[in-house]
Structure 1
Amino acid sequence: MRLAIFTDTYEPEVNGVARTLGRWTDFLRRQGIEVMVFAPDPAMDNTSLQTSIQVQRFTSFPFFLYPECRLAVPNPVPVRRALQLFQPTLIHVATPFNMGLFGIHYAKKYRIPLVASYHTHFDRYLPYYNLQWMAKLLWRYLEWFHQECRMIFVPSPSTKAQLVGRGWRGERLDVWARGIKTDQFYPGVERTALQLPGPYAITSEQFVVLYVGRLSPEKDVGIAIDAFDKFRKSHPNAVMLIAGDGPSAGELEARCNREQLPIHFLGFQSLPALRELYAAADVFLFPSATETFGNVVLEAMACETAVVGARAGGVADTVTHGVNGLLCDPGSVDSFADALERLYQEPEERGRLAARGLAYSRNQSWDAIFGRLLSQFLEAESGNIGTIVQHIST
């Protein structure tokens, strides 16, 4: 198999889709499979990025609904030349924007088998930007975009169920689960030795609530802040750490400073500091109801931290309420505050949920997930649909 991936986000971008694709291409390389990636120029400087995967980059600008996902302005001439040299036997479109459209175009033109991965419920973002009126148009576009795909891979059973509910054929949908690297995310940290940016420090006596993720309206970070504020009024030893960046960062931090809330904004955090934050927290609070998976939930579990999440989307596929975490009503400040109170008052239950979360995470091996995915890609490549690969020529 020679795989061409067309995506609007890729390493060194740090969102979940980019990281997953980076791990996927690294796995394929280790299996001896040749991969070429077509992706936008990254927002950050990537001069130090080292990769053994061929990556064709194109000028881009940020997408307003998801700035980490950039809209490329690809030149068809170098794309065609690169494909002529590479001669892919399978095309994977990972995002439904400009690069994905190029992938579909070349798959159709040269009769190359096509698969897709569906990562994000963009329709759920629309209400946060007063764009509800676009929902029907968006779904029509997404249905058209995926109609030629032999297989469509989704992050969770709930995502598959939603798409089937919208009339997508279930036999074309399969779950591409997310995994964890246990050598990167694991328990154990000396809290007093934790080096936080700026003047912040935490002690062993404090009850630490952590949020990790993008700071944007659809993540409902304001719900987390409101819930923590309600909870901490009865618990002055409580402190909240927020690790991440995004369009809402300035507004949220200004509010917390204005109201003098014990909430510290740490900005974007990478490994190994990110692992230490997870391991140092008593509770990981994640109120987002728009996730198709929610990688940060699994990361927190792998660091043996009790998880409180929204009873919605992919988070509810990972967290079993009362077994390996707690689930709350989406958008309910009271529900999340009550969950924090419960875990504060019952440290034994908090420890039990954290231990079971750790055990769950250790069964989510990336290699096992990718091994199954590779078999499915090979099946799609050879398929019984009757499509014949036509070598790309000028």
Structure 2
Amino acid sequence: MNIVDVSGFYSDTGGGVRSYARQKLAAAARHGHRLTIVAPGARTWTEPRSGGKIAWVASPPMPFDPAYRMFASARAVWRVLDAEAPDVVEGSSPWRGGWIAGHWPGMALKALVFHQDFVAGYAHTALGGLLGPPAVDRLSGAYWAYLRRLSRRFDVTVAGSGWLAGRLEGFGVYRPVAAPFGVEAGRFSPARRDEALRRDLLARCGASPDGRLVLAVGRLHPEKRHRTIIEGFARARTLRPDLGLVVIGDGLVRTSVERAARRAGRVHVAGRIDDRDLLARCYASADILAHGSAAETFGLVVAEAIASGLPVVVPGAGGAADLAARGPSRLYP
């Protein structure tokens, strides 16, 4: 099968979307399919990958986050689709990439794939505390009307969790189905625990070698609420002075996260870790994962932590809550 994924939020410095795309390429190679990821890049070129390729289309950077780019020309993407003549086209964003995939005039099965609920992720984060999530949803009526129109250009709408599929159905989005993601079997496991790495991470926090290690993993973007995690960690330290927190990730609000870390103390901002085996060892060597996003489509970080044997502390909403309910966890409102 020939599959083309128009992935407007794919970036080599990205988070969950990057992991999803790379695993999908690996799955295509295993099962004999051909996959093309169409992504916005600095220039137009084709990058061969096992299982297929990445077709980069020259696109301008996003104004508020230069790590990501935005498709400018629909015709440039359509030329890739015309050349590939796919059996299946996926629009992996409800924004520009999804619009381009949905309006491509070619003949193929089309799926609108949701990696994030933008109202829950951004509007709820910014205004939910003041107005409440139901009121924010009502104020976002124009967005939901746009999604209803866009989804009608696809044969199916794919959500990464039952939570999101139910939410989309409630707002009248066309044919939402849940297709939960997963984690790499064998890579994330309690057997990856590394005592030397654990001592090093605790030392970087300024905690003692026999302290308790808290981990926070994810893009440093507002909806991930790392400052809330750090504030909660600081309160917990009044009861457990032996705690240390390591924040793994990079992104738009890194400066403010680092500022909060300095104020709280015993927090180390490690930056992004691209080595997946090292990341697996970090999970397995910690004592707990703290996660702040209440709007995860699936919650890849939470799934990786649970597979590594970690108890998790997550918000009581979104895909992260769905996952946490299956393992040792604590949900908070």
Change (3 A) 1:21 1:32: same
Q: Could you list the per-position Cα deviations for residues 283-315 of structure 1 after superposition, in whole angstroms to 9, with x for gaps in the alignment?
A: 111121121211000111111111111110101
The partner residue of 2:178 within 167, 170, 175 is: 175
The partner residue of 1:144 within 124, 127, 149 is: 149
Superposed counterparts of 1:71-150, under 5 Å:
71-74=70-73, 76=75, 78-106=76-104, 109-124=105-120, 125-128=122-125, 135-150=140-155
Alignment length (residue pairs): 320
Q: Which moved more, 1:4-13 or 1:266-275?
A: 4-13
Partner of 2:69: 70
State the secondary structure of the residue aligned to 1:239.
strand
CA-CA distance at 1:203 after TM superposition: 4.8
Change (3 A) 1:303 1:47: farther
Superposed counterparts of 1:36-75, under 5 Å:
36-41=36-41, 50-63=49-62, 69-74=68-73
Structure 1 unpaired stretches of 5+: 330-394
State the secondary structure of the residue aligned to 1:279.
helix
CA-CA distance at 1:22 after TM superposition: 2.3
Distance 1:325 1:227 in 2: 16
State the secondary structure of the residue aligned to 2:314.
strand
Partner of 2:7: 7
Q: Could you list the per-position Cα deviations for residues 98-131 of structure 1 after superposition, in whole angstroms to 9, with x for gaps in the alignment?
A: 332222222xx23433111112111120354579
Tell me, yes or no, if the aligned pair for 2:218 and 2:301 is still in contact at 8 Å. Answer: yes
Tell me, yes or no, if the aligned pair for 1:62 and 1:70 is still in contact at 8 Å. Answer: yes
Partner of 1:185: 188
Change (3 A) 1:42 1:235: farther
Residue type matched to 2:240 in 1? H
CA-CA distance at 1:19 after TM superposition: 1.6
Residue type matched to 1:58 in 2? V
Partner of 2:266: 262
Tell me, yes or no, if the aligned pair for 1:232 and 1:238 is still in contact at 8 Å. Answer: yes
Residue type matched to 1:256 in 2? A
Distance 1:253 1:311 in 2: 26
Q: Could you list the per-position Cα deviations for residues 186-216 of structure 1 after superposition, in whole angstroms to 9, with x for gaps in the alignment?
A: 1142333445599557654101111111222
Change (3 A) 1:122 1:302: same
TM-score (norm 2): 0.85
Tell me, yes or no, if the aligned pair for 1:244 and 1:266 is still in contact at 8 Å. Answer: yes
Tell me, yes or no, if the aligned pair for 1:224 and 1:287 is still in contact at 8 Å. Answer: yes
Tell me, yes or no, if the aligned pair for 1:10 and 1:42 is still in contact at 8 Å. Answer: no
Distance 1:199 1:314 in 2: 31
Residue type matched to 2:33 in 1? I
The partner residue of 1:253 within 253, 258, 261 is: 258
Change (3 A) 1:62 1:96: farther
Change (3 A) 1:226 1:85: closer
Change (3 A) 1:80 1:306: closer
CA-CA distance at 1:29 after TM superposition: 3.0
The partner residue of 2:244 within 231, 239, 244 is: 239
Q: Which moved more, 1:276-285 or 1:189-198?
A: 189-198
- In terms of Rg, which structure is larger? 1
State the secondary structure of the residue aligned to 1:4.
strand
Tell me, yes or no, if the aligned pair for 2:313 and 2:330 is still in contact at 8 Å. Answer: yes
Change (3 A) 1:199 1:283: closer
Residue type matched to 1:110 in 2? G
Distance 2:291 2:125 in 1: 17
Tell me, yes or no, if the aligned pair for 2:164 and 2:297 is still in contact at 8 Å. Answer: yes
Residue type matched to 1:39 in 2? A
CA-CA distance at 1:134 after TM superposition: 7.3
Structure 2 unpaired stretches of 5+: 129-135
Residue type matched to 1:96 in 2? P
Tell me, yes or no, if the aligned pair for 1:191 and 1:204 is still in contact at 8 Å. Answer: no
1:17 aligned onto 2:17 = yes
Partner of 1:332: none
Change (3 A) 1:152 1:62: same
Distance 2:161 2:182 in 1: 12
1:312 aligned onto 2:310 = no
State the secondary structure of the residue aligned to 1:292.
coil
Superposed counterparts of 1:193-342, under 5 Å:
193-194=197-198, 195-196=200-201, 203-257=208-262, 259=263, 261-270=265-274, 271-320=276-325, 323-329=327-333
The structure, 1 or 2, with the larger RCO (C-alpha pairs under 8 Å, 6+ apart) is 1
TM-score (norm 1): 0.73
Residue type matched to 1:167 in 2? G
State the secondary structure of the residue aligned to 2:290.
strand
CA-CA distance at 1:182 after TM superposition: 2.8
